Chain A
């Protein structure tokens, strides 16, 4: 089947999509956008978090056909341009605080934090933890991710 959707502001088409494919697979393997990550592909780790019509979702749990005619924003679409100055404040905060180690959880966390700060510009620590409870990180123990969110909220 053919899937057409708006991804990071551009209308994109994917052909010969097998109906069992996830939005994650189409983004990564058919549209050249591997930013959303394939850590568990069962909705437990949040590494594949993208916006679907403005709502954060696990792209691994969205069937490709469900994205037909809808708007998707991935981590690649958050920064208006390339270069450090052009990065989104959440991306810059992750860099500044050392919240990135292996980085596999990072794209999903950045989308999740981007969404949190859009809803709540000044979240408390318990609010941050609650909002990010669906995003696993194995490297950092989350302390520097907490710092990154606090920094992003004030920048």
Chain B
């Protein structure tokens, strides 16, 4: 029997609706259990001893005084790690606890478990580590010349075979710098490790990818993966900072050693040392164009500081290289991107992932070129905008919609915000501004960016979903189970929406993510709605096929409101009758279309799955005398393919835009001689509600035929172009070159 099916157009709480978050009530009531909220009987508290030096040899560690403190149950060093003593996402090079040397300030050296967090901290302070301090390598160019290379990605594409001369009537050059940004999620690294009767461990943590944690933790504990069971505890934001391990192995080691549950919760200062940051970058660009502003070539050299360990630097370098000229048609491209090791804090994933740094540079260059050829910045971009059928510098054809010019037009054509009213709270610096606004000048700036969605370069990228349909309490109910990390973005909502749409059932529960189901991959690379969404849809379709096969009649059938319905609308059967006491369950592993590695010499290859685009227009008021900036308004236009949850999509766009604004004007982990100078929310500033302007959003839905529901990854693109848009607006107001972010008052007023 052949059963073809039709999907219902709209379903209450289904795809395309702004369904409510299933965890929303718990979150507003203060009852949602985050990873730092967990508690167990007989629980101990862990603390970490960290290196005060960016580079040193460890001569000796004396734990005697710590062990002697009443209330202390364990003090462990590298010698106590039973399995692999290193871990890592791509390269296993980061010690669980320092072995003979430390390579960055804050590197974990020893761990303590005690019956009170203060006891644990005091015990940690009693551990004496004898260091022989070395001069740290902190300059990425020095590191490069020393050969401390993580990865070099060249991308070379030439307009004509053999034509390597880079000449043009108009040439603009510039060197740009991007400071080290922190993800600054609010929920600190934390979790609870509970020793299990089978000698294994049950670990409740906030992470982005349970299975990659499981693999690394199991290796370090010397346990088989099935004895290391992870469950996702409530995640207080991630933004890339939870891709690498933090306390996972440490808490597990202490729990196995003491036989008691161990909770670890970083404070804010420790959190600045507990996760990787966005790579600081130095980017030198040369753009060649015709006199009417058509790009002929782009030549770029990008150096990213990876810090002390590899983390995800190789992939960040590839993104910076392959996305390095932006969403433009460029006939000839020569990009050299490097990631290097230094003794600075390790850098890895943060929202935008290599595309952010490049975008600040190429968009600054586009403005420079526009000025050089006498064109409006939007018009210059329009003349060079890529479109469907364009070819990337990697040689990859852009198959799906690429509405670059449309997005720019959308932000350009929005009405501009009114002039300031004179309310002193509207001045740059707010009521702290000591002038009457005499030196305030308004500026407008534009930028657009490009981001790859999903994992690239031939990575076997998949997600797993288990979907169960049964009758519960006299009505059909669906249980969706995946290991995908809800980090705040609304993935739990989306999973339920997809199940409602595919199965026509209102009552959908999304189980807690854990490692008892297959991997979902990481909540990163703007990939989860695409990947886990795709897996949930596929699993639902498998369930649906099983159910419809029971109907025993041919023709187009759909599941609507708990019933099997024929194409003429006639009800064929109810799911309650059809299922009875049976449970229909299907598990599906789902993949996107394969990608390919980059050629190591030319950087050519179909490395990416999907491209996503967002454009920004920023309007700023700058106090040119005080060097203070107030962003008055920022407008975003983004193509999302299909807004699976329109409210959540806008939330992602606004939140991402805010992080880009932060990088533009305030956010930087200040590192001097390898030492972080501002590890607190007093000194590392993220935008407050006073710093953020109204944010208008235009959402385009130009479906990608390759993606589930036509959707396009949403999370990262808005973070990428808001930074250069804000800086362009400040340049427009001040005439200053502003080649470094974050822009500081002295860059404007001195």
Query: Measuring CB to CB, which residues of chain A are less than 8 angstroms from any residue of chain B?
Result: 18, 20-21, 28-29, 32-42, 44-45, 47, 74-76, 79, 82-84, 87, 91-92, 94-95, 98, 100-107, 110, 126, 128-130, 132-146
- Asked whether, in the complex, the Cβ of A103 is within 8 Å of the Cβ of B695, the reply is no
- Residues of B with C-beta under 8 A to A130: 425, 690
Residue from A45, A83, A128 with most neighbouring chain B CB atoms (10 Å): A45
- Asked whether, in the complex, the Cβ of B28 is within 8 Å of the Cβ of A110, the reply is yes
Q: How far is the CB of A60 from chain B (nearest CB, A)?
A: 10
- Interface residues in B18-71 (C-beta closer than 8 Å to A): 18, 20-21, 23-25, 27-34, 36-37, 39
Closest 7 CB pairs of A and B: A35-B30, A102-B488, A141-B658, A103-B27, A104-B236, A75-B30, A44-B681
Q: How far is the CA of A28 from the CA of B35 in the complex (A)?
A: 13
Q: How far is the CB of B78 from chain A (nearest CB, A)?
A: 29
- Residues of B with C-beta under 8 A to A41: 267-268
Q: Is B618 positioned at the interface, with any CB of A under 8 Å from its CB?
A: no
Q: How far is the CB of A109 from chain B (nearest CB, A)?
A: 9
Q: Pull 20 A–B residue pairs with CB atoms less than 8 Å apart, ordered by A.
A: A35-B29, A39-B188, A40-B268, A47-B186, A82-B29, A87-B28, A91-B28, A94-B28, A100-B24, A100-B28, A104-B186, A106-B27, A107-B28, A129-B425, A130-B425, A134-B688, A138-B184, A141-B658, A141-B687, A141-B695
- Residues of B with C-beta under 8 A to A134: 688
How many chain B residues touch A (Cβ–Cβ < 8 Å)?
Answer: 62
- Asked whether, in the complex, the Cβ of B489 is within 8 Å of the Cβ of A143, the reply is no
Task: Select one of A101, A133, A135, A146 contacting B489, CB under 8 A.
Answer: A101
- Asked whether, in the complex, the Cβ of B27 is within 8 Å of the Cβ of A45, the reply is no
Q: How far is the CB of A139 from chain B (nearest CB, A)?
A: 5
Q: Which residue of A lies closest to B695 (CB)?
A: A143
Q: C-beta contact mask, B597-629 vs A, less than 8 Å → 1, else 0? A: 000000000000000000000000000000000
- Residues of B with C-beta under 8 A to A103: 23-24, 27-28, 32, 234, 236, 488
- Asked whether, in the complex, the Cβ of A102 is within 8 Å of the Cβ of B186, the reply is yes
- Asked whether, in the complex, the Cβ of A145 is within 8 Å of the Cβ of B689, the reply is yes
- Asked whether, in the complex, the Cβ of B235 is within 8 Å of the Cβ of A102, the reply is yes
Q: How far is the CA of A76 from the CA of B26 in the complex (A)?
A: 10
- Asked whether, in the complex, the Cβ of A44 is within 8 Å of the Cβ of B680, the reply is yes
- Residues of A with C-beta under 8 A to B488: 101-104, 139
Give the secondary structure class of B's interface: loop
Q: How far is the CA of A37 from the CA of B235 in the complex (A)?
A: 12
Q: How far is the CB of A41 from chain B (nearest CB, A)?
A: 6
Q: How far is the CB of A148 from chain B (nearest CB, A)?
A: 10
- Residues of A with C-beta under 8 A to B239: 138
Q: How far is the CB of A149 from chain B (nearest CB, A)?
A: 10
- Asked whether, in the complex, the Cβ of A40 is within 8 Å of the Cβ of B236, the reply is no
Q: How far is the CA of A139 from the CA of B239 in the complex (A)?
A: 9
- Residues of B with C-beta under 8 A to A129: 425, 689-690
- Residues of A with C-beta under 8 A to B23: 103
Q: How far is the CA of A90 from the CA of B118 in the complex (A)?
A: 36
Task: Select one of A35, A38, A95 contacting B24, CB under 8 A.
Answer: A95
- Residues of B with C-beta under 8 A to A105: 186
Q: Which residue of A lies closest to B187 (CB)?
A: A104
A44-B680, A141-B695 given; A74·B651 CB < 8 A: no
Residue from B25, B116, B689 with most neighbouring chain A CB atoms (10 Å): B689
A29-B39, A104-B236 given; A143·B692 CB < 8 A: yes
- Asked whether, in the complex, the Cβ of A34 is within 8 Å of the Cβ of B30, the reply is yes
Q: How far is the CA of A140 from the CA of B237 in the complex (A)?
A: 11
- Asked whether, in the complex, the Cβ of B651 is within 8 Å of the Cβ of A87, the reply is no
- Asked whether, in the complex, the Cβ of B487 is within 8 Å of the Cβ of A102, the reply is yes
- Residues of A with C-beta under 8 A to B267: 41
Q: C-beta contact mask, B203-238 vs A, less than 8 Å → 1, else 0? A: 000000000000000000000000000000011111
A42-B680, A104-B237 given; A144·B651 CB < 8 A: yes
Q: How far is the CA of A105 from the CA of B686 in the complex (A)?
A: 14
- Asked whether, in the complex, the Cβ of B236 is within 8 Å of the Cβ of A39, the reply is yes
A40-B681, A41-B268, A105-B186 given; A75·B690 CB < 8 A: no
- Residues of B with C-beta under 8 A to A94: 24, 28
Q: Is B717 positioned at the interface, with any CB of A under 8 Å from its CB?
A: no
- Asked whether, in the complex, the Cβ of B689 is within 8 Å of the Cβ of A142, the reply is yes
- Residues of B with C-beta under 8 A to A40: 186, 268, 680-681
- Asked whether, in the complex, the Cβ of B692 is within 8 Å of the Cβ of A75, the reply is no
Task: Select one of B30, B237, B682 contacting A138, CB under 8 A.
Answer: B237
Q: Is B374 positioned at the interface, with any CB of A under 8 Å from its CB?
A: no
- Asked whether, in the complex, the Cβ of A37 is within 8 Å of the Cβ of B268, the reply is no
Task: Select one of B32, B37, B682 contacting A42, CB under 8 A.
Answer: B682
- Asked whether, in the complex, the Cβ of B680 is within 8 Å of the Cβ of A138, the reply is no
Q: C-beta contact mask, B62-101 vs A, less than 8 Å → 1, else 0? A: 0000000000000000000000000000000000000000
- Asked whether, in the complex, the Cβ of B30 is within 8 Å of the Cβ of A107, the reply is yes
